[in-house]
Amino acid sequence: MKVLPLYNVLVLPNSNIYFQTQAFRAIAGNNVYQGDDVTLLIMKEQQTREEITEDSFYPIGVEGKIEEISGEGYVIIKTGRRINVNEIAINENHEIFVETSVREDIKDLNINEARQKLYEIKTDLKELLSRFRWGSIMENYIDQYTSIEEAASVLSSWISITNEERYAVLEMDSEKERFEALEKIIYEYAEVTKVTTDAHTAQQQDYQKLYKENALKKQIDYLQKELDEMHPEQVTEVRKFELKIQESEMNEEARREATKVLNRLKNDGEHSSESGMLYDYLDFVTGLSWKKEQPELIDLDEAEKVLSEEHFGMKKVKERIIQQIAVMNLKRKQSGSIIVFVGAPGTGKTSIGKSIAKALHRKYVRVSLGGVKDEADIRGHRRTYIGAMPGRIMDGISKAGVSNPVMVLDEIDKLSSSYNGDPASALLEVLDPEQNNTFTDHYMNVPYDLSDVLFICTANTLDTIPAPLLNRMEVIQFQGYTPLEKFQIAEKHLLPKALSSVGLQSGDVKVTDEAMETIISDYTREGGVRGLKKRLDTLCRIAAVKFVRENGVPEANVSDEETPEKTEPKIIVTKDELREYLDMHALTHNKVKDEAKPGVVTGLAWTQVGGEILYIETLFTKGEGKLNVTGQLGDVMKESVQIALSVVKARFPELASKFKENDLHIHVPDGSTPKDGPSAGITMTTALASLVTGHPVSPHIGMTGEISLEGTVNAIGGLPEKLMAAERAGVTKVFIPKDNVEDLRDVATEVKDKLEIVPVEYVEDVLRAVGIME
């Protein structure tokens, strides 16, 4: 008897199974003929005959007979009883042999009830066939079904159930359960087919309606265009929006949304309650530049010249921008990571953005993020809210008028979060090159490509920038300016601008070199030049008053290029006159002390306005070993105190009893200024070692670095600013962590020339160098 392995076929007893002749030959081979008896087995998984094993089949099958092999391309197998598969053997030619036994059915089916249900099923199938043009032909075949198994077998190819579910029907011994399962399968098939057919019919009707509608629209558009050309002054706002949408190069999603809003405006009319909101939306979306700008080749020498015109120094920053331009020239597109400029206020982080835009021949737009705490400020408000408007990013794009401006995101470190969301998280999509090509503003509700925008961020510190956001940016440090650099900036840029702002010529007022140096050293204390600019603005205003009183108002001011000859300045500002001109006392900077005392050591600190020296003061008082720390120290510096205390006790065990017999007070002046950061460990340790040994450390020796319990001196940040503060305060020798030696290249030469800089790796290196340890 020939064994036929089947997969995903509904095999039922006492029914007919239909095959295409070609598919049947692939299963049974060519050596089967009409009238042959066959055994139908169900495979667990679809396999080729070469892959089939004894375990490939379910334990229940059906015996059958080949009823007809038609020349018209089909084969009919008449099935009989269900059988149990007792044993399976497969020979080397992959022929299958089985030993079977009859599997009896449970005769629990009510014949009359089954006959009535079969009639209802055939009626439902006829109703289904009536939906098709060829359906009437099949109705006669349905009338010939004598059992539900026959109906299910015919529908086997179209029923969407799995192989396991098909076998589960065959496995049922109860005739009643099998009938109910087949009934459920047939009705589910019929309902799904009805829904699919109705949907297809409705779709065809929609297509016909759409074709007609498009034809009518084309005629209307043609006529409307003719009218607009005849009477351009009568073109309505709605029509203007239609033309803008058609002429814009917005993506398909944006075009669909804009068209939908325009249709609402048409249907609601200009006097509806929502017309203002719809108008504003269309005005914003159609006003955006959707055009992808063509890349422009930038001359590197010209760009370098532009960057140097208004900004003195900044060598590293300018080199990085030139690198960016070179890469963009080679790739013909926006490329590279997002840049964040980090440094003290007044160091030119924001203003250089304008120069970068000028060098790239692009539009410049600045977005201030300081104090932003609402996610909607970045992503925009949803239009369902009253007063909704786009976020600051898309508003900046709109103001720029192009899709590829240079956008400066100012004060990114001053973002905050609230119950309205986290704006820093919203910026992740804006600044990620892998995501921002489909940035979606909530107000617009359609994607916009930001990949051509050159984003430049500015910050005073990295501490408050979330790590995921910082990870997407390349950090470029803006170091504080040295006094020499400030002098050059003041002479070449700040003073001429200050004079021009009050209507004076550069030849009218002269500030002596000594006066300028005094303003820089005694009237400003920041790492940048913002304070210096304020002082020069004040000086020029007072000079303007003095000029007008002494010389009157000239008939016409001319530029320096038009001045026929240079004359002696009418006002000369000297060092002694600064108190009068600036109307303020000179600022006091920390200076090194003249006398060395045990327990007092000079440290170096970084602040948001540059570097500063600070003293670590320690004192023993009679007590019971209590520790008192003052000076508004943060948690990190308090931990440095504990580490330094443990290190000193470990290095001087013979003197450790002093810490038990006395109370220890550690103070960091001045007390009104909060202080924190991982860089005071070595200074704390040296101060405590000096106190416990009684050996004073010269105040002209400064140091910075964090330590571990092992005594290793760890790297710190802000080295250039700290060394500038040390040089300004009169420090002559500075200990720095060995790991920070590479950072010395960022320190100005005039600062390094005045300091003896000693890299150290262990705390013992410092203690020996200052004479505390031998």
Active site residues: 679, 722
- Tell me the residue ranges of DSSP E strands in 569-724: 571-573, 600-607, 610-622, 627-630, 662-667, 701-703, 706-707, 713-714
Asked if residues 409 and 421 have their Cβ atoms less than 8 Å apart, the reply is no
Q: What would the DSSP string read from start to end of 130-160?
A: TTSTTHHHHHHHHHT--SHHHHHHHTTTT--
CA–CA separation, 741 vs 726, rounded Å? 17
Structure tokens at 477: 């440090």
Q: In 22-90, where do the E strands start and end?
A: 37-42, 60-69, 74-90
Q: What is the CA radius of gyration of the chain?
A: 44
Alpha carbon of 697 to those of 21, 153, 375: distances in Å?
104, 101, 53
Q: How far apart are CA 297 and CA 451, in angstroms?
A: 18
Structure-block tokens of residue 689: 């070692």
| Residue labelled with tokens 């020798």 | 733
Indicate the Cα dihedral angle 95, 99, 105, 106, nearest 10°. Answer: -140
Measured CA to CA, the distance from residue 741 to residue 766 in angstroms comes to 16
504 phi, psi to nearest 5 deg:
-105, 155
Distances from the Cα of 483 to the Cαs of 140, 487, 569, in angstroms?
105, 6, 25
Q: Smallest Cα–Cα separation from 40: which of 100, 107, 104, 106?
A: 100
Written as six digits, the tokens of 263 are 């249709």
Token pair for residue 14?
């006492």
How far apart (Å, rounded) are the C-alpha atoms in residues 497 and 490? 9
Phi then psi for 35, rounded to 5 degrees?
Answer: 95, -10
3 state DSSP class of 499: helix
Task: Return the number of other C-beta atoms located less than 10 Å from residue 171's C-beta.
Answer: 15
Beta bridge partners of 757: 734
**Cα distance between residue 343 and residue 718, in whole Å:** 9
